[in-house]
Structure 1
């Protein structure tokens, strides 16, 4: 082997390498490496076997050719690494906003994107962790008590999770699947009502997770993580071409992990495998099949504690030790198995027409077994608890067919989209609970003992069918961009009580729409405004036996985006009003029933900026203020604020990579997160205090000094740097969740 070390300014790499690729006979793999923007990320240690190497100095000279079977060359560049070289966290596009490839600066709605590089630098193990630095996305509100699930609220309302553009079925509770972040390439967040594209869903918005896809560029990574609380994991990511003509591509992601917890005697054990294959017979057609398998023989800890023992409400005995496990060790063994198969087919018929079909079958089988702490006794001396067993299964088939066309009407350019999606599935849920027991959490014998005999039980089966027809037009004229979209949905759900042998059926239909206008100027500044709607079916009946109709949400939003031409920067600012109507509230004539006269309104501001300030310095800023109020209700919640919605949240992150001097190859990053105070119950009688949290990361590439170590990267990540103890949220006085304490993780990555 010949070792050639080339020192070159990274800002000039693209231009030089592009000229080299134009040399006659350059290989398609190298050409695609440049086209996909991957060259900078893999420049250090890039293996130019059977490829071309250009000596650069003040201009181009003829390329050196390495014939097949001859020596290979390793390249080392100043300031780069074999891992993930920071090139900024600002995205240019995100399909979640329009299901097309429109630039984000043209989209009249607030969109956030977390890329793979950010997840790697911050060592995000869950989707919730990856979204910590996104504006207005409230995650981890159940803190250390629910590490195996991902919930998010945006603008005071629940968000819906999607994977590769298809809805994740079963994401409304701890019985649903959790998507492994090691298998993700990015996470796209669309803020606010989105039913005009995605059909029924919450008013908060859509979180679309994008799986890693097969690539023709060969890349392999093996990563070992070791952390506190007995955390350890081994991860693999491998991709490349199966054939010389690069028509068949593969990718394999895998992970084996044991993750401890601050709660004694608890852990999460996970095995994850995600093989994928792509067939691209030509430049116009691509078919990718993705598979995911996840098995958790132990899937974490699920519990709550009363506000009185956490210092939020008065209690003469004081606070308890929140690191202790207040459950019966014989009955704390939750588990989960999930798998899915996804088909992504795309064909470009001609310069105008493009067809897509996305299809997924998924299955999740979970059993949540936990000791559920329910309340504190009236004398404030003991806690009550019940043992719960909640086995469930969910099977679903989701399909989305799209046709995209580009055309013009006079001087107006159009990008039209029409689609039909279909969802069907079956959800089986069982639940049973034991008798309530009392125990003393302040004593030496603080763990309760249960007799696991069911004294209450429910068993239901739900079958659903959902169909939606939608259309969208993105029209452009003299710098103006008009977005119009509409959709009609039909939903049918049949719920069976397996114990009473009864069934109820709900049929719903609804229209949704979105309209927006933006005008990007040459400076990169783009003012915009939009209106969008959402609907979400409800189950149950009122006092007259009439099925509940869906809730309906309407949002008015306006803002500014800034993306200077040629910059790695995206700044977004939005102000909005979002109102959800037909919300269930107590029926004043029949207090045992609900009526749909409730209304909740959110008004707020969101600001997010992501920028590569220099070739080495990256910045992320986020701030959100929301005034979430129950404007209509038949109980004491009217005029109050919903629980678990911080009025203010904010964050800031900076990382810097040294490219010269004695610290060359070192990356140092750190950030601060602010979680504002939130109300702990619907009557707003007590608050969960605000908290500041700090994070930091260090990455080092020894190959910057010793080329023989080109393929290694060392890392250290610390979250909650000062180890603050805090309460994440409460849904009412008996049910509060503690925050996640300090975690320390060291890693070694080997690229080969």
Structure 2
């Protein structure tokens, strides 16, 4: 995270197998993770609790406030409660340090971006039992999209208290204010991935209205982490977090070609407010039984989510995509006007009881069995239709895994997992989404050479999910649910500390994703925005001796295969590969480190994906960021 100076969690996962980080191009507001062919905002966790974002109403914290990012696959993900079968991403918030630490950074770079960061913490009150930390940043700047800014303020306090030798309490909070615009530009396929006699659209093209384009998301969380060790074999953990987000989004967006040079447009006003309360409690017990070592976890989790949104849409004047003229008169929609209105209040509650037993036999065989029972209730109030829809669901899901540990470091394994994910949200017509269900089969091999800082993983998987939520091809601002989608594939990952100076991260994914059931005519086709091949390689070399001591160099390449650009598979988005690089130098015997990071170093212009013939998204152009960091 720190080495690549990423701006969001998806960027931090660019070199992780099976993950597609730029489905919506440069837009950094959505928390959706695309993994093994499926997108889900339920696969992103923070400190073991789900990040309850809804579309652009986001609770995702800035990556500077994170200690690390964990990617868990298969049965291990049961420890985090309800999730998708493929696994999950858990981000860990920075904790107060036990010794004094302070850091300040000044950054600047492409698109006139300027940013200041600070991170300070340590023990207080002299007893060593109380530690605090305060992390924050402020960023201002433009983006590669004309007329669109990217401004952020982030503050995260933390307090840790050692109540007794066996009990610890940590309080975590964050406040974040994002002030931006329409980074998500819906460009037509004609003039981007498809030819247009009038030329090619630049990656900076803005097709909205500068005077009616703003995105403001004010969000905050407050959480508690409690841990008590009864003895060396029994531990209780309790996590709770409250979150809120208030979003105001005004935009003019495109809605299909009108002529060879102009596009139709719509004007949209969003107002949304989200509140969530999450709780997870668990007891972990280790014991020996009949010569086998057992580690049992039993727990209860609960979520309560309220999401109130009003979306107003009206027709806007067309615009020339090659010679845009801004400042046209707009008929701004109101709730009293003739505009399209989607006004709803949704309330979701879900309680789950879960259990997992990991048994180690003969110091070689590891058997993992887990299950959970969920009770979910959703209530959707459609204010425009003056109707209320209540949906109640219950489900039992199970997971199982088997691993054999060889002395050589080789560990073959097999796993099975089921999922049940209640959805909150409605389609464009106001219909509430039904739960997403699924299964996953996976077999694989892990190899960790003895006494070496290396790990190699190979996996074959099959995932099947029902009622998958995807982008509405007729309007990218909404979603629809597809009957059933299946993903089969192979995945390889290598992480190696080759020497004390050189480390490498390599990944490759092959996947075949297919719609197997649908009400439409797309059965047998590949969902849009789903590449068959993904590959990446990142290398880092640090000089630890000699005249170049303190210098570090990094180089990475990312490859994304071709994808289909619409639900009918009528056209393809070309494959692309981009180069990333970084350089850092720690001034000897000083507190200062100078860094330069470059994303898309060769400035390749590419379309990251298309959702339809009227919704294509450019990927990141070359972005260079220089920073000066002081630590003491």
Question: Which structure 1 residue ranges, 5 or more long, are not aligned?
Answer: 1-118, 586-593
User: For 1:694-705, what aligned pairs fall within 5 Å after superposition?
Assistant: 694-703=579-588
Aligned to 1:332: 213
Q: 1:694 to 1:702 in 2, by over 3 A?
A: same
Please tell me whether the aligned partners of residues 160 and 170 of structure 2 are also in contact (alpha carbons under 8 angstroms). Answer: yes
| CA distance in structure 2 between the aligned counterparts of 1:126 and 1:536, rounded to whole angstroms | 24
Q: 1:424 to 1:666 in 2, by over 3 A?
A: same
Matched, 1:612 2:497: yes
**What's the CA shift for 1:583?**
5.7
Matched, 1:719 2:604: no
| CA distance in structure 2 between the aligned counterparts of 1:287 and 1:505, rounded to whole angstroms | 38
Aligned to 1:69: none
Deviations 1:236-295 (A, max 9, x none): 111211133310011110111114211112111111100100001343211000010001
**What's the CA shift for 1:198?**
4.8
Matched, 1:365 2:246: yes
User: For 1:106-145, what aligned pairs fall within 5 Å after superposition?
Assistant: 119-144=1-26
Question: In structure 2, which of residues 46, 54, 64 is the aligned counterpart of residue 163 of structure 1?
Answer: 46
Please tell me whether the aligned partners of residues 328 and 449 of structure 1 are also in contact (alpha carbons under 8 angstroms). Answer: no
| CA distance in structure 2 between the aligned counterparts of 1:307 and 1:595, rounded to whole angstroms | 21
Q: 1:385 to 1:617 in 2, by over 3 A?
A: same
Aligned to 1:464: 348
**What's the CA shift for 1:539?**
6.9
Deviations 1:104-160 (A, max 9, x none): xxxxxxxxxxxxxxx11111121111111111111121112x123332211111232
Aligned to 1:347: 228
**What's the CA shift for 1:460?**
0.3
Deviations 1:442-484 (A, max 9, x none): 2262675522134211110001110000000010011110000
Aligned to 1:473: 357
Aligned to 1:319: 200
| CA distance in structure 2 between the aligned counterparts of 1:520 and 1:235, rounded to whole angstroms | 44
Please tell me whether the aligned partners of residues 23 and 529 of structure 2 are also in contact (alpha carbons under 8 angstroms). Answer: yes
| CA distance in structure 2 between the aligned counterparts of 1:714 and 1:673, rounded to whole angstroms | 25
Which deviates more, 245-254 or 193-202? 193-202
| CA distance in structure 2 between the aligned counterparts of 1:599 and 1:718, rounded to whole angstroms | 40
User: For 1:531-542, what aligned pairs fall within 5 Å after superposition?
Assistant: 531-537=416-422
**What's the CA shift for 1:306?**
1.2
Aligned to 1:519: 404
**What's the CA shift for 1:701?**
1.0
SS in 2 for 1:434: strand
Aligned to 1:494: 379
Aligned to 1:736: 616
| CA distance in structure 2 between the aligned counterparts of 1:336 and 1:516, rounded to whole angstroms | 41
SS in 2 for 1:229: helix
Matched, 1:418 2:302: no
Q: 1:583 to 1:343 in 2, by over 3 A?
A: closer
Question: In structure 2, which of residues 297, 320, 335 is the aligned counterpart of residue 440 of structure 1?
Answer: 320
SS in 1 for 2:161: strand
**What's the CA shift for 1:317?**
2.2
SS in 2 for 1:662: coil
Please tell me whether the aligned partners of residues 713 and 748 of structure 1 are also in contact (alpha carbons under 8 angstroms). Answer: yes
SS in 2 for 1:334: strand
SS in 2 for 1:436: strand
Question: Which structure 2 residue ranges, 5 or more long, are not aligned?
Answer: 471-478
Larger Rg: 1
Deviations 1:312-364 (A, max 9, x none): 23433232233132211111111010001010000100122100000000000
**What's the CA shift for 1:731?**
1.1
User: For 1:163-182, what aligned pairs fall within 5 Å after superposition?
Assistant: 163-170=46-53, 172-182=54-64
Matched, 1:291 2:176: no
| CA distance in structure 2 between the aligned counterparts of 1:288 and 1:200, rounded to whole angstroms | 23
| CA distance in structure 2 between the aligned counterparts of 1:596 and 1:654, rounded to whole angstroms | 40
SS in 2 for 1:577: strand
**What's the CA shift for 1:599?**
2.1
SS in 1 for 2:64: helix
| CA distance in structure 1 between the aligned counterparts of 2:445 and 2:316, rounded to whole angstroms | 54
SS in 1 for 2:190: helix
**What's the CA shift for 1:300?**
5.7
Aligned to 2:124: 242
Please tell me whether the aligned partners of residues 133 and 651 of structure 1 are also in contact (alpha carbons under 8 angstroms). Answer: yes
Aligned residue pairs total 615
Q: 1:549 to 1:381 in 2, by over 3 A?
A: closer
Question: In structure 2, which of residues 231, 237, 252 is the aligned counterpart of residue 356 of structure 1?
Answer: 237
SS in 1 for 2:2: helix
Matched, 1:403 2:292: no
**What's the CA shift for 1:195?**
8.0
| CA distance in structure 1 between the aligned counterparts of 2:572 and 2:482, rounded to whole angstroms | 27
User: For 1:33-44, what aligned pairs fall within 5 Å after superposition?
Assistant: none
Please tell me whether the aligned partners of residues 99 and 122 of structure 2 are also in contact (alpha carbons under 8 angstroms). Answer: yes
SS in 2 for 1:566: coil
| CA distance in structure 1 between the aligned counterparts of 2:140 and 2:468, rounded to whole angstroms | 41
Q: 1:182 to 1:547 in 2, by over 3 A?
A: closer
Aligned to 2:474: none
Q: 1:461 to 1:193 in 2, by over 3 A?
A: farther
Deviations 1:482-501 (A, max 9, x none): 00000000000000012232
| CA distance in structure 2 between the aligned counterparts of 1:599 and 1:453, rounded to whole angstroms | 37
Q: 1:565 to 1:193 in 2, by over 3 A?
A: closer
Please tell me whether the aligned partners of residues 142 and 729 of structure 1 are also in contact (alpha carbons under 8 angstroms). Answer: yes
TM-score, normalised to structure 1, is 0.79
Aligned to 2:91: 209
Q: 1:608 to 1:348 in 2, by over 3 A?
A: same
SS in 1 for 2:440: strand
More helix by share: 1
Matched, 1:627 2:538: no
Matched, 1:580 2:462: no
TM-score, normalised to structure 2, is 0.93
Q: 1:562 to 1:447 in 2, by over 3 A?
A: farther
Question: In structure 1, which of residues 273, 277, 286 is the aligned counterpart of residue 159 of structure 2?
Answer: 277
**What's the CA shift for 1:636?**
2.1
More strand by share: 2
Matched, 1:252 2:134: yes
SS in 2 for 1:555: strand
SS in 2 for 1:435: strand
CA RMSD of aligned residues (A): 2.3
